[in-house]
Amino acid sequence: MDEIQFQLLTDLHRPATRQGPGGETETRQAMRLAGLDRSRRLKIADIGCGTGASTILLAKELDAEITAVDFLPEFLDELQTRARDHGVAERITTLSCSMDALPFSDGEFDVIWSEGAVYNMGFEAGVAAWNRFLKPGGKLIVSEITWLSATRPPELQSHWDGEYPEIDVASAKIGILEQHGYCPEAYFYLPTHCWTENYYRPMQSRFDAFLERHSQSDQAKGIVEAEKHEIALYEKYRDYYSYGVYIARKI
């Protein structure tokens, strides 16, 4: 991807509440399955936080001090504005840093949270690298694109082989967690509305303004076409894949 494409993608996604599939109900469900509540103060890292959909909910629901990490400062600026609007800004520190070069100490966090982002460094590399930042007994909550069945149509397989060859079934992802020092505690996958109502519909409603802002440039049109292709593929094949949400405890 070149610099202009990258800036265009940032511009398309920055106004959004979320930059990937997800939902407040599902983030709450993950909190509950991980046994997180207000009974004690928690130190949390939210990695690949985007504009903070999960960060802000965690800050509101828990007694937590949260480090929100993303490599895009534009998203973190937006997150800070939203955190102020929700009255939780003082509990959130932002850190602009790549998720594969985090400056954290061993055993610093009670919780590592990451929704729709670990694929950027790869699931296995991510969960392996982040393990040491957790306290023993600390919780990892990570969502990852996941096959919902053992077989799938060739068109879909070849799309994801190109986009993200690490896509796999939940049992394989759970095995990876076990191999890297975690006890898997729970798994569920995001229901359709997390993709459609929460992510794709709001994105589709921004396409026209986005194209206008960029004077209908070929590159802006290319971005919109790629997103439309992804949406069409999801609508056709949504029974075969979703984001799996994995909850695991550091051994």
Running DSSP on this structure, what letter comes out for residue 18?
Answer: -
- The residue of the chain with the least Cβ separation from ligand SAH equals 50
Among 36, 44, 45, 48, binds ligand SAH (CB under 6 A): 48
- Residue 40 — φ and ψ, nearest 5°? -150, 160
> Which of 28, 33, 71, 193 touches ligand SAH (CB under 6 A)?
71
Site for ligand SAH in 150-209 (CB under 6 A): none
Give me 143's structure tokens: 């969502």
H-type alpha helices, the chain: 3-13, 24-33, 53-61, 73-85, 123-130, 154-163, 170-179, 192-195, 201-213, 218-237
- Mask of contacts with ligand SAH, 74-93, x by CB under 6 A? -x------------------
Total residues contacting ligand SAH (rule CB under 6 A)? 20
Taking the complex as a whole, how short is the minimal distance between the CB of residue 27 and ligand SAH, in angstroms? 9
Of 12-20, 104-112, 157-165, 170-178, the window that binds ligand SAH (rule: CB under 6 A) is: 12-20
| 116 or 244: CB nearest ligand SAH | 116
Write the CA distances from 36 to 25, 30, 104, integer angstroms: 15, 9, 22
Residue 94 or 131: the one with the smaller Cβ distance to ligand SAH is 94
* The token pair that represents 32 in the structure block: 């509950």
**Nearest distance from residue 120's CB to ligand SAH, in Å?**
3
Q: Draw the binding track, 49-68, toward ligand SAH (x: CB under 6 A; -: no contact).
A: xx--xx--------------
Among residue numbers 116 through 155, which ones bind ligand SAH (CB under 6 A)? Answer: 116-117, 120-121
Q: Alpha carbon 227 to chain centroid distance?
A: 17
Q: Which is nearer to ligand SAH, 101 or 150 (CB)?
A: 101
Phi-psi region of 211 (alpha: psi -120 to 50; beta: other; left: phi over 0): alpha
Residue in the block written with tokens 């405890």 = 249
Closest approach of Cβ 235 to ligand SAH, in Å? 20
Looking at beta carbons only, is 24 or 152 nearer to ligand SAH?
Answer: 24
Pairing of the two strands 109-114 and 42-47: parallel
Q: Output the smallest distance, CB 211 to ligand SAH, in A.
A: 22
Considering only 36, 45, 72, 111, the residue that binds ligand SAH (CB under 6 A) is: 72
99-124 as b/e: b if 16+ CB within 10 A: beebebeeebbbbbbbbbbbbbbbbb
73 by Cβ neighbours in 10 Å (0-12 / 13-18 / 19+) ranks as exposed
Tokens found for residue 17: 């509440």
Residues that bind ligand SAH (CB under 6 A): 18-20, 22, 48-50, 53-54, 70-72, 75, 98-99, 115-117, 120-121
